[in-house]
């Protein structure tokens, strides 16, 4: 769990959504639906059957017509946190999985504090595990227990796993926490979330050795998910080509997210959770 001092800092922050909510009533986010909250929205002429308690008598005195006060309804958002729990996420020190869990705890706490509904998913292979929709700060206990129960394993296929998630086709936010090193790519997975009217945020977690490997001479590389072995000569040219391939991969994901109106943040797993990562999330407008 996050410590009390960190939680106090989070209490001054909010999870930001670009679009209005379409969830159930009772939250703190403004919806396009008109309801009975205290925030005034507009007037319209009275029609038979309307609630006479919402008549504006001052307007009647001025215009000799009955007008009804309309108010902006506040609704909770539906937030979905999707964590890649494949074997590759166990890499690094601290591991990419530990960083993903810490970020998920932050986003979950902010969502629950804002009276949003939160569901967590852990993708492993083509399957997934999930929580029930959580509400209120007491939901953090269940969220923390769920995250602690997951051990990264298997090979995640984002294009299949994300498509199977029971995320409804209604406005909400889905945050995907992954290294996005998935067979078949990530494009169809993220696009499927957009099709379901989700505001998508891709948090890419990469370890420093993946960005800047320190290899010398002949080395044997083992794929953590498939067990495939590759022997290479870690020459200057080979490392230069590797760095270029990594840079191209990161740029392609960043560009894809930008072109499809998705938020994107690259986060080294070794970065400080409280200082660096909160700042990065705030810079892209995910936190306020």
- DSSP calls for 24-66: -EEEEEEEEEEEEEEEEEEEEE--TTS-GGGB-HHHHHHHSS-
Q: Please give the tally of structural domains in the chain.
A: 2
Structure tokens given for 3 = 């410590």
Distance CA 54, CA 138 (A): 36
Say what the pTM is.
Answer: 0.80
Interhelix angle 236-259/187-195, rounded to 10 degrees, is: 10
Domain region containing 36: 25-75
Question: 237-244 — which CB contacts under 8 Å span 24+ positions?
Answer: 239/213, 239/215, 242/213, 243/211, 243/212
- At residue 76, the pLDDT reads 62
Is 271 a member of any domain?
yes
- At residue 34, the pLDDT reads 47
Is 6 a member of any domain?
no
Q: What percent of the chain has pLDDT over 70?
A: 84
- At residue 43, the pLDDT reads 59
Looking at the fold, whether 104 and 42 belong to one and the same domain comes out as: no
Mean pLDDT, range 2-25, rounded to an integer: 76
Are 74 and 114 in contact by the 8 Å Cβ rule? The answer is no
Q: Tell me the H-state helices in the chain.
A: 4-10, 57-63, 96-113, 139-148, 158-164, 187-195, 208-211, 236-259, 278-283
Is 99 a member of any domain?
yes
Q: What confidence tier does 53 reach under pLDDT thresholds 50, 70, 90?
A: confident
Examine the pLDDT at 32 and tell me if it is beyond 70: no
- At residue 30, the pLDDT reads 47
DSSP code for 15: B
Is 3 a member of any domain?
no
Looking at the fold, whether 177 and 270 belong to one and the same domain comes out as: yes
Structure tokens given for 92 = 């690094």
Is 163 a member of any domain?
yes
Mean pLDDT, range 236-260, rounded to an integer: 92
Looking at the fold, whether 88 and 228 belong to one and the same domain comes out as: yes
């Amino acid at each position: 769990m996050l410590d009390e001092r960190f939680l106090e800092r989070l209490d001054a922050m909010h999870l930001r959504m670009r679009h209005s909510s379409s969830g159930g009533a009772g939250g703190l986010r403004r919806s396009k639906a008109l309801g009975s909250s205290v925030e005034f929205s507009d007037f319209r002429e009275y029609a038979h059957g309307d609630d006479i308690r919402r008549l504006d008598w001052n307007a009647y005195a001025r215009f000799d017509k009955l007008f009804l006060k309309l108010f902006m309804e506040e609704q909770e958002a539906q937030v979905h946190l999707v964590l890649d729990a494949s074997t590759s996420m166990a890499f690094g020190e601290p591991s990419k999985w530990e960083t993903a869990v810490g970020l998920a705890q932050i986003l979950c706490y902010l969502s629950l504090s804002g009276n949003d509904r939160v569901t967590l998913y852990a993708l492993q292979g083509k399957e997934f595990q999930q929580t029930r929709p959580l509400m209120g700060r007491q939901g953090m206990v269940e969220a923390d227990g769920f995250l602690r129960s997951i051990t990264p394993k298997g090979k995640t296929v984002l294009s299949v796993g994300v498509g199977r998630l029971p995320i409804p086709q209604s406005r909400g936010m889905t945050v995907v926490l992954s290294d996005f090193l998935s067979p078949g790519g990530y494009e169809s997975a993220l696009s499927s979330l957009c099709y379901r009217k989700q505001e998508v945020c891709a948090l890419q977690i990469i370890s420093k050795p993946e960005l800047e490997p320190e290899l010398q001479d002949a080395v044997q590389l083992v794929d953590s998910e498939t067990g495939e072995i590759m022997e290479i000569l870690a020459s200057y040219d080979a490392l230069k080509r590797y760095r270029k391939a990594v840079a191209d991969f990161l740029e392609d994901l960043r560009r894809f997210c930008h072109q499809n109106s998705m938020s994107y943040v690259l986060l080294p797993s070794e970065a400080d959770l409280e200082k660096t990562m909160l700042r990065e999330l705030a810079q892209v407008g995910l936190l306020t």
